[in-house]
Amino acid sequence: MKTDRFVVGPVGTNCYIVRNEETGECFAVDPGACPPELTGYIKREGLTVKAVLLTHGHFDHIMGLDDFLEEFPVPVYACKEEKILLESAELNSSTGMYGKSYTFSGAEYVSDRQILHIAGSEIQVIRTPGHTAGGCCYYIPEERVLFSGDTLFRASVGRTDLPTGSMSDLVRSVRDRLLVLPEETKVYPGHMEETTIGYEKKYNPFV
């Protein structure tokens, strides 16, 4: 697999395009916006988009969905507990923080530990409540890669002062569900730079 990062939207959200280099199939993670650079890259590379994975429903991770799906009509996956955020502009903070109401009701909802088979990869859903009640991460065991959304950052964790957030739940999720993964696991977060599970076990002050 090859992972490309695009920093999109008003608060610099990491949107990832993850491709199978043998087949040219790919999936997207958290299209918080859909600039021409993103869609143009997919088309220039001749990639076939198979799905969109959402780590959670905050506005800065979902507001590019409509434009992205217009270009690439594929299934959108999210944890079932996140439905309330996706379908509420108040709860997903699009109205209060962005000033433009946005909701999305077309997701296919998945459960904790469910395995998704996308673009030739087995992707494990790991529910990680805390940043939001229905937040999740996506882990590809064969690649030792984790897409952590806003649950885990380099030497930090996500904020918990928005609707459905809980710091105690977040710390528990990181400690009990993520830091048990192999230390060499590469972590692709929702903002800022990459990290590894081994680095976070040593240097993350929150856990």
Q: What is the CATH number of the domain that holds 80?
A: 3.60.15.10
Residue 96 has pLDDT above 90, yes or no: no
- Full residue range of the structural domain in which residue 40 is found: 2-203
97 — pLDDT class (breaks 50, 70, 90) = confident
Asked if residues 93 and 39 have their Cβ atoms less than 8 Å apart, the reply is: no
Residues 6+ apart with CB under 8 A from 177: 126, 127, 128, 137
| Cα gap 126→124, rounded to integer Å | 6
Q: How many folded domains does the chain comprise? A: 1
* pLDDT, averaged across the chain: 97
Over residues 149-181, the pLDDT tens digits come to 999 999 999 999 999 999 999 999 999 999 999
| Cα gap 78→94, rounded to integer Å | 18
Could you give the C-alpha distances from 181 to 94, 190, 197, in angstroms and in order? 33, 18, 7
- Averaged pLDDT for residues 133-158: 98
Structure tokens at 47: 């990639």
